[in-house]
Amino acid sequence: MIWVESPDAFFFHFWNAWEEPESDEVVVIGSCMTPPDSIFNEHDESLQSVLSEIRLNLKTGKSTRRPIIQEPSDHVNLEVGMVNRNLLGRQTSYAYLAIAEPWPKISGFAKVDLLTGEVKKYMYGDKRYGGEPFFLPTEQNCEAEDDGYILAFVHDEKTWKSELHIVNAKNLQFEASVKLPSRVPYGFHGTFIDSRGLVNQA
């Protein structure tokens, strides 16, 4: 067992982690709540969810924390979401995360380049909010990491109607929507099961 000192941090969610043998480091990607105890205590500081890269050095027992989005003007509160699940435990380039603004509602989602910090946004529109974005690859072994679609439930608080939005993950272009017969409550987590998966459930 190896103990590693880490920066003060509180994470609701981690998005991925992988080993980098050449540097003896474990890289962890997650959304770090700032200040760390802001969820459980009253603070004058405004709450921020900072997408961060933590590097745990297994040789030195030390660690570093780097905000992935470097420019303060680009900062956005990013929470529930995911990476391409086919790459869990391996280095990933992108994360698809809910934009938790106005906190705690979710007004859209972002595709974040984990290396450069570039942020691309898909917004739901006025008085329209949703839940966790779900990345669905076009194929099990697609060549490009972002070759797939983002699925997201969207609820319109003016009309009280809900839809499923289907968005191209490469360019965040809207592809289609499915009108739903009833409201889908706001929630954190979901999953996708194809027809073969449903058969296996029976």
Annotated binding site for Fe cation: 13, 189
State the DSSP code for 16: E
CA distance 118 to 68: 9
Two structure tokens written together for 24: 């003896």
Q: How far is CA 107 from the centre of its chain?
A: 14
Q: Which of 142, 161, 138, 141 is nearest to 150 (CA)?
A: 138
Residue type, 97: L
| Pairing, β 161-168 against β 174-179 | antiparallel
List residues forming the annotated binding site.
13, 189
Two structure tokens written together for 113: 């380049």
Q: Which of 99, 92, 87, 84 is nearest to 29 (CA)?
A: 92
CA distance 157 to 202: 36
Two structure tokens written together for 64: 């570093």
Burial class for 87, CB neighbours closer than 10 Å (0-12, 13-18, 19+): middle
